[in-house]
Each structure stands twice: as structure tokens, then as C-alpha cells.
Structure 1
Amino acid sequence: MFKLILVATLLGLAAAVDDERGAEIRSLTNDPSDADGNFAYAFDTTNGIAVQESGNIAGVNGAAQWVSPEGVPVQLTYTADENGYHPVGDHLPTPPPIPEAILRAIEYIRTHPPKEENQYQPPQSPLRG
């Protein structure tokens, strides 16, 4: 999981700064996996890219920042664990708002729960006494 996330992050960052091939690394920290499986790494480049990630076999937390080709600073934070990959950033698309009619319907259902009734009544046999 770690390698996949690292490769995806690096490829995304490389694509974002394709025209700045002369960038140099200002700082690099790499603490490989210890006996408990904990790891951490971080790097920072001269063209404004900064990445950091830490975690273990149970999950990771990370962050990345860079400047888009349009000159807009982009910041991304994420977690990846047994519940999946959860990125957070202003540049990520968001779902449209829930329509007001649907919100009212959900509220009505919440405040008026259905009555618990036994819907099925087995037929009575005329032979039983």
C-alpha cells in the first residue's frame, strides 16, 4: 500500500511540474520501516514541491503541496487505512448539495418512523378448531 501511494504521489507531482526539470531537492528525510513497521519520509524541492508521509501496516497519513501550472498553490492531505484512501484538498471535486426536497423528506421520515406492524398474517385454516 505504501509503495503504491508513494508512486502515485510522485507521478502526480512529476506531471504537475513537467516543465521544471531542473528542480533540486532541498531536504530529504527517510526513516525506513523499523521493527514495528513504522516508517516516515519527507522531501522538499526548490520549485515548491513538499511531500511528507508516515505510517505503518495499519495505515498512513501524508501531505503534499505544489504549485499548479496556473500558479495556484495546491495542498493535499490524506489518510489511507482499512477504511480506504481519504484525500482532502480544496482542489478536489465535491458532490453537489442535496436538494431541499430530499432533505425535507429525510427529516419527515426521521420524525415520523413507520409503525412496527406484522405485515404478514397467515391464513386461518377452516379445519382447525
Structure 2
Amino acid sequence: MKVISVIVVLAAAASAAPQQGRDAQILKFENENIGVDGYKFSYETSDPITRQETGELTNAGSENEAIIVKGEYSYVGPDGKTHSVSFVADENGYRPSAKTARK
């Protein structure tokens, strides 16, 4: 049940990320520690979007086993401002925190 909850949380986080130009180029991509204990990735595109995220298994093998996901993404909106969202997703749900920078 917890695995399904984590998948739902990750899908919600992915769909919350802004969708920008289809012709964007990947400028940077890093991917580490893919496995059952966790993961880490980051990327930057030319349109410009940045994202970084880590997932870590906690309380492995116990009744309280959970994956804690932390990350952030940013993008330039139609208003020309950079919008950033930091988030945590864990047994308490998905908790985003947004801010907008000036042009």
C-alpha cells in the first residue's frame, strides 16, 4: 500500500511541473543511486527549466518503511519571472512551497 502511495505522490509531483517548449534542449542531466534504497537526479533545459530531486528509503524492513522525496524545480513563466517550487513528499503527503523572483 505504501508503494502505491509513493507512486501516486511522485506522479502528482511530476504532473505539477510546468510543461514548456517542445524544442527545448537538455543542457545538463545527472542521475545517481538508482536502487531500492533511493535515488537522486537533476536536470536543466534550455527553455529554462531546472529540477533536482532525491528519494530515500527510511525505516527499511519495518512497519514504518517509507520513501521520503525532496526536491525543487524552477521555470520562467509567461510573466517573465522565475517561479520556484520546493517540495517534500512522505508519509504526511506532498507539501510544496512556492516563490516567485522578480524579472
Consecutive unaligned residues of structure 1, counting only runs of 5 or more, are 92-129
Match of 1:125 in 2: none
Consecutive unaligned residues of structure 2, counting only runs of 5 or more, are 1-5, 58-66
Normalized per residue, the structure richer in strand is 2
Match of 2:75 in 1: 66
Q: Deviations over 1:23-66 (max 9, x none)?
A: 1000101125235x110111100111000100123211000000
Match of 1:86 in 2: 95
Q: Percent identity?
A: 26
Q: Is 1:13 matched with 2:22?
A: no
Match of 2:39 in 1: 39
Q: Highest Rg: 1 or 2?
A: 1
Q: Tell me the TM-score normalised to structure 1 length.
A: 0.57
| Dislocated runs of 4+, deviation >4 Å | none
Q: Tell me the TM-score normalised to structure 2 length.
A: 0.70
Match of 1:106 in 2: none
CA 1:11–1:81 in structure 2 vs 1: closer, same or farther (change >3 Å)?
Answer: closer
Match of 2:29 in 1: 28
Normalized per residue, the structure richer in helix is 1
RMSD of aligned Cα (Å): 2.2
